[in-house]
Structure 1
Amino acid sequence: MSGRAYQLAYGTQEDHRGILLVATYCGIQDQLHANQASKDIQLTTSDGQQLSTFTSICRYLSSQSSKSQQLLGATPLDRATVQDWLSFRNIELHGLSEAQLLKVDQRLQCKVYLVGHSVSLADLVLFATLYRALANIPSAQIIDRYPSLFRWFDFLQHTVDPAGHYKRVDVRKPKFQRAPAPPAPVAKAEKAKAADAQPTTSSTSNTTAQPVKESKGAKAKSTSAAAGSTKERVDAEPAATTTAASGHVTDAATPVETPANASKTAGAAPSEATLPKQDGASKQQKGKEAPAAAKKAGDDPTIDMLDIRIGQIVSVKQHPNADSLYVEEVDLGEDKPRQIVSGLVKFVSVEQMQNRRVVVVTNLKPAKMRDVMSYGMVLCASNDAHDQVEPILPPEGVPLGEKVSFEGYEAEPEAQLNPKKKIFEKISPDLKTGADGTAQYKSAPFMTSKGPVISTLSNASVK
């Protein structure tokens, strides 16, 4: 292949840039010698054969590269789909009217790539064909009128053209709006204290307004009752302390009002000095309840507890003991690939799994699945019926082993998740794909150095 050379005569800069984009992606740009010496486009091969249409030249260059299977299709269905898109481009995309762009936008709904799960020749050719029209449309109009087309185009311009044959189209992306923080939880102890305080104040107020003159016998009885009440309070305090330390609030820490208490308050409203036991018990209860409440609020797991990284499947085989499971070797930029077991046999073929780039949770505790150890989990999107499942897709060019980030969640992940705490199970309900297929935790997208992680399934769960 290294000895081959191709002579390209082109008539327009659009044709030249499109073919150069394909040749560069194929890795054979150095073998292509171009000059603008003809009105019509023409490629002459090293053995003298000539091709004279844009799509036929692109197909031929793709077939001569090491990426021919990826670009032209690995299966009969993929090859037919690539050809369908090329025919659509040749027949319908002339002049690029608004109606034609809307038609493309509709066909791109729920698609990341035009064919399969990686860049194909259809993506490259359609990108080159649409570039001039999209570069001249105001940014806001692209987003409002052609949201699916914009998403696909913007993703490709950041992934398939590192050489910069096309000037980047500056498109204003809609900002992610973070959901407002939930209100701080109110400690149960505070609620109980407020509820207990109200009737006590009312009772004290009524007693103060209507003082009662005590007889000597009543006074002695009142004094005896007060002594009994004090003893009850002292005996109850250890039980109240133990209960408050466990985070639960009972009435044991609150002194019970007796006739003696009422008689003491007959002349004036009580001060802090009048009821030292009640004040001390309340402070003790409040002091011990607050840390318990804070600990409870801090126990809610968040996405930054997971160590999520970009990997690539380097080998895949059927599980020896389970028909529905694959055993994959995934390169995560470590010393050696990790063995991971995934239940994807019913949804993704071996050919589609091989060399696929994936997103992996790497800090789960290793688990044995039907006698085979698994050292991670490949994250997948699934529709509600669970009849469509596929691994979510990182952008092209992300280094293997790169950690996926989430805006607003920047703590260091756990070294290894404790399965008893069910951290992933508590986080997973908030892992979804948006209407545009972007994978996200709550409102924060899965971000890499090359852009967001995506899926062809929109409004799907991720786990």
Structure 2
Amino acid sequence: MGDKELLNALKERLLTPTTDLSFDVSAISLVGQSLIGVAPETRSEITQWVSFARTLASSKVSIDLMLVTVNLYLQSRSVLAGKGTNITVADIAIFISLWDLVAALSATEQAQLPNLLRWFDYVQHNNEVHQVYKEIPIKKPDFRPPNAACLGVSAIKTSAGTDSNGALKGNVDVNSTARVPDIQSETAGEIENAEKTVNGSKATPKKQAKESKEKAQAQKKDVDCSISVLDIRVGIIQKVWKHPGADGLYVEEIDVGESNVRQVVSGLAKYLKEDQLMKKKVLVLTNVKPGKVRDVLSSGLVLCASNKDHSVCEPVAPPEDAPIGERIKFEGYEGNPEEVLNPKKKQLEKILPDLRTDALGIATFQGIPFMTSKGSCQSTISNASIK
């Protein structure tokens, strides 16, 4: 089977929510390693973009937010995954998800998304893609190389400026070094701030980068709020029942790879039915101090993602094949967890504000994914708080 046939298969599976894309990704990798990526970090990026493509196909994310996010992400990149110019499954999956939308864009709308449209045109002229998808006319922006006096300019300038709403108009005529958003940690508010930077905000990229670095270093020095003090394990719910003293609570017995199951009380009763939790893999914070919740002992905390108004809530899910009892890891934080968190230090309270899902639904700590040996953990709720 060639790449053309595999593109068609991938398209069909993207549009069928009940199917799994892993088969197609594996098949494509047999045809060419460049499509699936060689470096582990590239494969991780591909996995996240394919997951995002499925989110787009099921309309679980704002189209406007998605367009701005991808456009800004591509500001200094040729392709979505990896550091070069090789097209991967990530590009193909997002291209398929966006094709109908891009086809409907007006010339004015195209001009406001120069990075996304430049990438789209690059992908659609790939030989295999070109054979499957009808070419969409893309008006490319005029480009004038900056002179020596302009080399220090850090914000995008346009020949026509911006409209009353602050949207880009006109043609890009100088190179930009404005901040590029990170697709794995950007929230709606951060994207808005990024747009302000692109549209001429006084904040400079160097200042933003310095402030972010200083903040990250300061937090790493604070041992009490380092994510490494938490002991988060992959568990599976073996039994669940209603709390005898509270209608909104469940009591669960969870296997986290220890000799005995743990009994945990969680506030999921108003969001999920008991049969939806049975045999479900979850993430359990195991080193919280045991205590009674309405006279029922709880020896752990099930980490859940929740939207802003808390109308939707669900446990963060590890990969289906992640081993029971495996500890969740965070790149750059290699320390050992404390045996039991000290409530007086308020360690958990300090860390929780930095636990969120990103635009792809990937669970993160300050933008760093929750990782297992089988991949990242995630939720169907994007840009959500985790606690």
Q: For residues 245-324 of structure 1, what are the structure 2 equivalents within 5 Å?
A: 298=222, 300-324=224-248
* 2:345 alignment counterpart: 421
Paired AA for residue 310 in structure 1: V
TM norm structure 2:
0.51
SS in 1 for 2:297: strand
**Counterpart selection for 1:334 from 239, 258, 264:** 258
Once the 2 structures are TM-superposed, how far is the Cα of residue 421 of structure 1 from its aligned partner?
1.6
Is this contact kept in 2: 1:104–1:149, CA < 8 A?
Answer: no
The 1-side partners of 2:308 and 2:184 are apart by: 25
* 1:325 alignment counterpart: 249
Paired AA for residue 148 in structure 1: F
Is this contact kept in 1: 2:361–2:382, CA < 8 A?
Answer: yes
Paired AA for residue 363 in structure 1: N
Q: For residues 142-291 of structure 1, what are the structure 2 equivalents within 5 Å?
A: 148-149=52-53, 180-182=212-214
SS in 2 for 1:123: coil
The 2-side partners of 1:423 and 1:449 are apart by: 26
Paired AA for residue 313 in structure 1: I
Query: 1:435 and 2:359 equivalent?
Result: yes
The 2-side partners of 1:432 and 1:443 are apart by: 8
SS in 2 for 1:182: helix
Change (3 A) 1:450 1:299: closer
**Counterpart selection for 1:354 from 278, 287, 298:** 278
Change (3 A) 1:147 1:317: closer
The 1-side partners of 2:338 and 2:236 are apart by: 23
The 2-side partners of 1:184 and 1:307 are apart by: 21
Change (3 A) 1:305 1:132: closer
Is this contact kept in 1: 2:183–2:359, CA < 8 A?
Answer: no
Query: 1:371 and 2:275 equivalent?
Result: no
Q: Deviations over 1:375-430 (max 9, x none)?
A: 00000000101001000010012111111000001111111011122111110000
Once the 2 structures are TM-superposed, how far is the Cα of residue 348 of structure 1 from its aligned partner?
1.1
Once the 2 structures are TM-superposed, how far is the Cα of residue 95 of structure 1 from its aligned partner?
9.2
Runs of 4+ residues over 3 Å off in structure 1: 94-98, 126-140, 142-147, 149-152, 169-177, 296-300
Once the 2 structures are TM-superposed, how far is the Cα of residue 129 of structure 1 from its aligned partner?
7.0
* 1:344 alignment counterpart: 268
CA RMSD of aligned residues (A): 4.3
Q: For residues 90-101 of structure 1, what are the structure 2 equivalents within 5 Å?
A: 101=11
Change (3 A) 1:355 1:335: same
* 1:123 alignment counterpart: 19
Q: For residues 364-403 of structure 1, what are the structure 2 equivalents within 5 Å?
A: 364-403=288-327
Once the 2 structures are TM-superposed, how far is the Cα of residue 176 of structure 1 from its aligned partner?
7.4
Change (3 A) 1:385 1:139: same
Change (3 A) 1:183 1:360: closer
The 2-side partners of 1:305 and 1:345 are apart by: 29
Q: Deviations over 1:91-120 (max 9, x none)?
A: xxx99659x93x865x68xxxxx4xxxxxx
The 1-side partners of 2:48 and 2:327 are apart by: 32
Once the 2 structures are TM-superposed, how far is the Cα of residue 123 of structure 1 from its aligned partner?
2.5
Q: Deviations over 1:54-113 (max 9, x none)?
A: xxxxxxxxxxxxxxxxxxxxxxxxxxxxxxxxxxxxxxxx99659x93x865x68xxxxx
* 1:276 alignment counterpart: none
The 2-side partners of 1:453 and 1:184 are apart by: 22
* 2:334 alignment counterpart: 410
The 2-side partners of 1:138 and 1:450 are apart by: 20
Unaligned runs of 5+ in 1: 1-12, 15-93, 109-113, 115-121, 153-168, 186-293
Q: Deviations over 1:275-300 (max 9, x none)?
A: xxxxxxxxxxxxxxxxxxx9x96355
The 2-side partners of 1:407 and 1:95 are apart by: 34
Unaligned runs of 5+ in 2: 38-45, 57-86, 92-181, 186-208
The 1-side partners of 2:373 and 2:216 are apart by: 34
Paired AA for residue 343 in structure 2: P
The 1-side partners of 2:48 and 2:322 are apart by: 29
Paired AA for residue 337 in structure 1: V
The 1-side partners of 2:374 and 2:317 are apart by: 12
SS in 2 for 1:426: helix
Once the 2 structures are TM-superposed, how far is the Cα of residue 367 of structure 1 from its aligned partner?
1.3
Once the 2 structures are TM-superposed, how far is the Cα of residue 150 of structure 1 from its aligned partner?
7.5
Change (3 A) 1:310 1:183: closer
Change (3 A) 1:333 1:183: closer
Paired AA for residue 374 in structure 1: S
Once the 2 structures are TM-superposed, how far is the Cα of residue 457 of structure 1 from its aligned partner?
0.7
Q: Deviations over 1:163-215 (max 9, x none)?
A: xxxxxx986899979x8531699xxxxxxxxxxxxxxxxxxxxxxxxxxxxxx
The 1-side partners of 2:303 and 2:51 are apart by: 26
The 2-side partners of 1:175 and 1:460 are apart by: 14
Once the 2 structures are TM-superposed, how far is the Cα of residue 439 of structure 1 from its aligned partner?
0.4
The 1-side partners of 2:334 and 2:245 are apart by: 40
Q: Deviations over 1:417-462 (max 9, x none)?
A: 1112211111000000111111010021100010001111111111
Q: Deviations over 1:233-258 (max 9, x none)?
A: xxxxxxxxxxxxxxxxxxxxxxxxxx
Paired AA for residue 123 in structure 1: T
Is this contact kept in 1: 2:184–2:360, CA < 8 A?
Answer: no
SS in 1 for 2:239: strand
Task: Please identify the structure whose Cα radius of gyration is greater.
Answer: 1
Is this contact kept in 2: 1:437–1:459, CA < 8 A?
Answer: yes
Q: Paired residues, what number?
A: 232
